[in-house]
Structure 1
Amino acid sequence: MLSNEAIMYYANHPVEFVEDVIGAKPDKEQAKILNSIVHNQMTSVRSGHGIGKSAVEAWAVIWFITTHPYPKIPCTAPTQHQLFDILWAEISKWKRNNKVLDSELVWTKEKLYMKGHSEEWFAVARTASTPDALQGFHAEHMLYIIDEASGVDDAIFEPVLGALSTPNAKLLMCGNPTQLSGFFYDSHNKNREQYSTFHIDGRNSPRVSDEFVQTIINMYGEDSDVFRVRVAGDFPLAEDDIYIPLPMVEKSVQTEYIPREHPDIIHIGCDVARFGTDKTVIGYRTDEKVRFFKKRVGQDTMKTADDIALLGSMLVDQYKLRPEKDLPIPIKIDDGGVGGGVVDRLRQMKRNFPERFWWMEIYPVKFGQKIRHKFYDDSTTFMMANLKTLLRPFDDEGKPKDVEIVLPDDDALIAQISGRKYGMTENGKIRVESKKVMKARGVPSPDEADCVLLICLPVKRPKNKKG
């Protein structure tokens, strides 16, 4: 292991530690962040995608645990995927870069510790899904790592603030600036004087490709919130005429989902391509979680119907659904244009093989159809309003509660939902803009978003069905 003299030197020189011991080369901004941890108690980094923040966090963990006696390093992120599949895997990767480090530091699925000191010299991973995630840690040397901090609930930060009252406690939090309120937002705004803050624009990062930046510009424009957050590392503007603002969508994406053995809700949705460059998108929902199954450019209705039948059969097998004890799966299909062919094909399959496809319950849906409703002008607006309610639900007393739908982390989906504008009709009803209007202002067809709207649309089951 390192000599005492080397440890004393590297404790104040994390960049050199990363270069000499880990064998990595931080870029200019990464080096500034590492040095900030030494000289400042609280460091907050907002950035676009792909600038290497997970690497910085991993380097910081390895540096701190190696150069500080008996430290404790609690690490958290909004979801298990972000924490374990990205940050924790990054720590494992860089630890293996040095044979001595690899032999002295023991990595497990939830803990990194100095050999022989598993209880008092460690870093630990805990998802930010419960308020006590970062409670109960006490040590002379502490380093809190909070990844995707914009998506972490304020209650998680309370024990951190208490711990930071000790002189050797440090905080590093990084993330895309997705929310317009909260602890992370305040660290770059009203509480900025208390922090060493960094703003990293992906356009200035050597780790972000020009192709990625140009793709986002071409698809959504430099004036879009998607570009601001995911490339420029700026907080969203939340335009007044956007129906579902980006922070609401990002909060759903970053919400932890714990699957149940037998879901209470299983729904399938399919948006069928109308034109040459549009996509056919098939997705499904199990309880709160939405996933995409297949995306394809094209209008092959037979293939689309077969894919839906395959997905449904997989869900039936996975969750051991049986006709004598389970309800059929609602399959909601865009019935406009060529979508009618998919509806007809699925109905034919069920007629010809009723025992095999007992689980099919088919619901054709028309987007943009006028409806009789007190507040909403058409079916698309009603579906957007339903999704908005799931993204920002309230209890019986009117207080906000946890989101009721967890969306996939899909750039196209996030942009489509958060980029759709709305207005008021002459009779005072809300109407979101049509696909035609969106395309006229250069926005791609919202195929992923329309699939999600179908997935989340509540259905009125036939009278002979329960539930």
Structure 2
Amino acid sequence: MTGRTAPQPDPQSTLAGDIAAFTHDPLGHVLYAYPWGEGVLAGETGPRQWQRAVLEAIGTHLADPATRWHPCRIARASGHGIGKSALIGMVVKWALDTCEDARIIITANTESQLLTKTSPEISKWSRLSVTADWFTPTATALVSTQKGHERGWRADLVTWSTNNTEAFAGLHNKGKRIVLIFDEASGIDAKVWEVALGALTDEQTEIIFLAFGNPTQGTGTFRTLFGRHRSLWNTAQIDSRTVEGTNKAYLDELVDTYGLDSDIVKVRVLGQFPSASSMQFIDRASVAAARARLPGGALGTDPVIFGVDCARFGDDHSTLAIRCGRDARTRPWQRWHQRDSMTLAGDIALAAARWKPDAIFVDAGNIGAGVVDRLRQLGVENVFEVWFGNNRVREAQWIGGTRIRVANKRAEMWTNMRHWLESGCIPDHQGLEDDLTGPEYGFDADQAVRLEEKKHMKGRGLASPDDADALACTFAEPVMPRTVPGWLDPARYPENRRAEEEDLYRDIR
């Protein structure tokens, strides 16, 4: 009896099946598709840690049915040499390989960046892939080799113009996959961002929006992703010195030459945005010192003070800051997003029952007046409303004990807070640091200090400084110590000078 040879599996079918398993696993695709440890990848075992984190974030987003059809927005600001373009090449290849008729648009801050840096990296990772013959690379595209899919299954590198945004406005691919990538995103015009964001509206569609780059500008749309719009984006700022494979000697040379506080080092090494201007009201060094300072030095007589900044809906949030003397860290702060005044007041009342504050100062704007009324209705004591826009010229504490004129209540509170930061400690929280260092200042016609308005901050791409305003509220008015030494107690003051002379030393007998 003659045996029959079993049919051999088709290698291409096997490969296609393997690749299909990575539809929602970009990291798995990257580890599978490339010859790690060989040729140009000799000594490499896989993507760098920050690249892995981005690939995992995309995979987690797509694998969850609850988030799959919502846009996946990821932004990374970094110093030089961390491998941004390489990651773009990996993401592009995964996105095309694992979804039929996927559409990808890539742009950059300049045509030179796009064609001499981004495009070569995309071509390189396409050629290195085990699926290299699935797509054909050109100078401005990566196109499917499958007949009949050349026009709809591709990645295109597009130069942008404020007068020609059709490529972004026409980016639709309902029911399939859309990937939009901005390389060196800090230099891309706001109009391009606006059109691109408006185009990503297809339902039941996998939408991935990546924005990478050096944070070269302290204003603009890329800056807003880390400020005003930070709740919508998965963001991180990456210090090049912490990344595998970067030129540490060169990076250290930049730090030694210019210093950690210089804009050159912030942008090119630390992945931080440059200083907004010389009119920054609170410098970042003072805030960093307050973040690092350990709680201590508080006196038993120091009052516990609540500061509440209220917001209802939108990007802003409500914050409860708690300060006792120089310590604004030990008692945990609270934050609320999209909470009504009744709920907010109830939560603050519970916090008051726990911490027994000597004063609760509430920003009375927005929904704050309702919060004040509700707190009083609940029987909470020592509740005071604060009107930020009260324009009566007054004085506040400046550096070194100097008194200066300030234009309104908000400027008064912020100025006193600025002085307090010289010795106070605050939560170790990046959002709070960004809030404190965000506002600029100037002088009005009376030469009184006036802080930048929130709407102007938002115009520069910064978030409303909700956390900082809450802390500032704790400086709204002086609050008496919890206990008063007898020699300072007004109730024990003598009624006449003779009694005062006779009883002058009664507390130290």
TM-score by length of 2: 0.45
Larger Rg: 2
TM-score by length of 1: 0.49
